[in-house]
Structure 1
Amino acid sequence: MTYSGSNYRGSASVPPAGGGGGGGARVAAAATGGGPTRRGLIGSGVGLVASIAATGGGLAVWSTANDTNTDLDRAFDLEGLPEENRPEPDRALNLLIIGSDAREDSEEGDARSDTTIVMHVNEAGSEAYGISIPRDLYVFIPEYADAQYYPEYTGDNAKFNAAYAWGAVPLTVLTLEDLTGVRIDHVVEIDFAGLVQVVDALGGVTMNIEAADADEYWDENGVTSIHGEHRYFEVGPNQLNGEEALDYVRQRKQWARGDFARMQHQQELIKAIMDSALSAGVLTDQDRLTSFIDSTSDAVKVDTEFNVVSTAINLMSMRSDDLVFMTAPNLGTGEQGGESVVVYAEDLDNPGDSNPEAVSLWEALREDDVAAWVAANPEAAGQGEEE
């Protein structure tokens, strides 16, 4: 088995603070009131809303942003998770971004986590790292009394996205924390409909389409969707609406890298969304800004303690080159119980023996020293690839 990461280093355009600014990633007042906490956000739909709101200026915009913060769907209570099994908080921010495959006609328990990114922002608020977790990564799923199939399935090894199917966001958080030893501070979830809504509110995004290179789908001129209307995407830069962008980033079979290609394209979409906010003039036009905030505030779900506005203010000094994307180091694809999986380690009880890169990455997150890890592991962090 060989290592297969297909990592990608991208950048998400984060506007500078008006008139300078700085501050760390630690301040984010709890949504329910009281003094500031140490948590924040960057690199998601909510982060985009917050960043735009904070830089737009004007009393009307500020009022709209605060209303948005109040009205967000606060569906996740991380404080209610069993504390005895959770890692200790650290002084950096670790945000879990989930893109679920839930649709309006989905039945409860049918949805899975189609996209999972751990966004780590250092304590100074000057660097951010997005680490994609393969949905087929073979990991340990902890016991969780509120899981749909408890106790039959939890407390055993399975594909990572089974955690979402069995226990939704809470079990996903517990699974990630068990895998990494890293405390998840906040959660942002967006489903398919929400993603379409965000992209369309910006008037579309520009994405650089990758030509299909898998044997059965080879096409040097573009790629054909295997879903729905079977759209054709020509290679190179394309302007996409919400449905088209969603369609493209859901594809995987058309590339030899499979799900790793899909994760790369999802990372690229985050960059495209934030770039589109700049090019569409959302930051400079109060009417567009207010319209965007109004039209996207119901596109996401967050945890009960997350404060959008104060977080944005504290991250305004972060620039595009400060965000680095990568994929969790793994041992490539393999087979387990007749299923194709992404192998995290040959021995899940001792992953350092066969996957020391992953173990050292999680340690770097815990120690808030990811920059040093990237410097020591440039290939794993995608630093050797063209952007």
Structure 2
Amino acid sequence: MAYESGNAIPGPDAPGPAGPEPAGDGPPGRRRPRRRALRITAWAALGVLAVGGAGAAYLWSHLNGNVKGVDINAALGKDRPSDAHNGAMNILLLGSDSRAGTNGAYGKGISGARSDTTMVLHVDKSHKKASVVSIPRDTMMERPACPKPHGGTVPGAHQAMFNESYEVGGPGCTVKTVEKMSGVRMDHYVEVDFNGFKKLIDQLGGVNITTSQAIDDNDSHLKLSAGKHTLKGEQALGLVRTRHGVGDGSDLGRIQLQQAFIKALTEKVDNIGLLGNPAKLYDLADTATRTVSADSGLASANKLLGLAKDLKGISPKNMNMVTMPVAYDPQAPDRVLPLTKASQQVWKALRDDKPIPKSAVQNSVGDKGKSPVTASA
């Protein structure tokens, strides 16, 4: 289903939710999120309207020019799952671990980039509830043949690590891989970079979390004692990149941290009082739109705002977050394999616009144990 948003800039009752998040680090198992930038884009309307007249038009066109877009539909053609056509929506949320430019400070150089974080956001037809399915980056799976970003085709692979799809074919190949794996059509994709994520968190004044245990990870440079913390940009990025400091040191523990951070970030965006500060609203919107890359169907401030309005009613308590059911690969303990039957239950729930059954994830190593991080006031 193609998403359409309104053409007019909304008035002062304009709402706002969801966007994305960051990426990860070194060897096997790493990833990270990025999601709530879209909600901030909604606030841009208020800041722009406060400026008024020709100034408003100029500022709004400036925000439109910030967002980078990729025409996924043209790249993938017609060999895709069918549209839902019932008002439900599926958005692929990506975080890449490119070390280009200043991002090199967050890990050793690698050739190209990989999808450090991949989440499927399913918004139900009422747009009041959502399911988020994290796909572990170290999942061994069948990768389909994909179009290259600048022409040509990447051949498929029988046993490939999931995050390599981004490295060999960019976001289009990751979308193709997820659609082939799940049978769920991605209506949109959204992506954010390291530095934009940090700046956004700093501009928000930090995000409040509570840790049930100390976290000490030399790779992500994060050291937190047990208790309450307000994480600014650098620490927030460290948290969503941490894997050695929690759980079994794999990507699965990091996914738990990322999911907890997304809920904390959602609460921060919901509760922050910025309506009386148009200048700050605009600065946040400027950073958010510079941080986001998206498919061409979302690659403008107006369209992101329309999506944010649609997602307004989804609170953290109405967001069910799971990891695609997996088991450790007996041939390679630092890799995971999909639990076929359980994974299909998850994807079928999304295709049918139904809640994900708890039984689908109960035997998955990705949803064992409690996250050591929760949102706090």
Instruction: Give me the TM-score of the superposition, normalised by structure 2.
Output: 0.77
Instruction: Trace 1:185-334 onto structure 2 (pairs within 5 A).
Output: 185-211=187-213, 222-227=214-219, 230-257=221-248, 258-306=250-298, 307-330=303-326, 332-334=327-329
Q: Note closer, same or farther for the CA distance 1:109–1:278 as it changes in structure 2 (3 Å cut).
A: same
**Deviation per residue, 1:117-149 (Å, 9 max, x gap):** 100001111111111110001111111242799
Displaced runs of 4+ in structure 1, greater than 4 A?
Answer: 61-66, 106-109, 147-153, 375-387
Aligned residues: 330
| 2:49 alignment partner in structure 1 | 59
Whether the 8 Å contact between 1:103 and 1:193 is mirrored in structure 2 is: no
**Separation of aligned partners in 2, 1:82 and 1:149:** 12
Q: Note closer, same or farther for the CA distance 1:136–1:246 as it changes in structure 2 (3 Å cut).
A: same
The answer to which of 233-242 and 181-190 deviates more is 233-242
Aligned-partner residue type, residue 325 of structure 1 = M
Instruction: Trace 1:1-387 onto structure 2 (pairs within 5 A).
Output: 28-29=4-5, 42-43=18-19, 44-53=35-44, 56=46, 59-60=49-50, 63=56, 66-67=60-61, 70-91=64-85, 92-105=88-101, 109-146=111-148, 154-211=156-213, 222-227=214-219, 230-257=221-248, 258-306=250-298, 307-330=303-326, 332-336=327-331, 340-345=334-339, 355-369=340-354, 371=355, 373-374=356-357, 377=360, 379=362
**Deviation per residue, 1:260-299 (Å, 9 max, x gap):** 1101111122222232234442345333222211233211
Identity value in percent:
28
Shift, 1:93, TM fit: 0.5
**Deviation per residue, 1:37-93 (Å, 9 max, x gap):** xxx983523322234446x58723795884466223333211212323211111311
SS of the equivalent of 1:85 reads coil
**Separation of aligned partners in 2, 1:187 and 1:51:** 18
Higher relative contact order (CA 8 A, sep 6+): 1
Aligned-partner residue type, residue 295 of structure 2 = D
Q: Note closer, same or farther for the CA distance 1:147–1:378 as it changes in structure 2 (3 Å cut).
A: closer
Q: Note closer, same or farther for the CA distance 1:132–1:283 as it changes in structure 2 (3 Å cut).
A: farther
**Separation of aligned partners in 2, 1:344 and 1:236:** 35
Unaligned runs of 5+ in 1: 1-24, 32-39, 212-221, 346-354
SS of the equivalent of 2:290 reads coil
Unaligned runs of 5+ in 2: 8-15, 20-34
Let me know the Cα RMSD of the aligned residues.
3.3
Instruction: Give me the TM-score of the superposition, normalised by structure 1.
Output: 0.75
**Separation of aligned partners in 2, 1:249 and 1:189:** 15
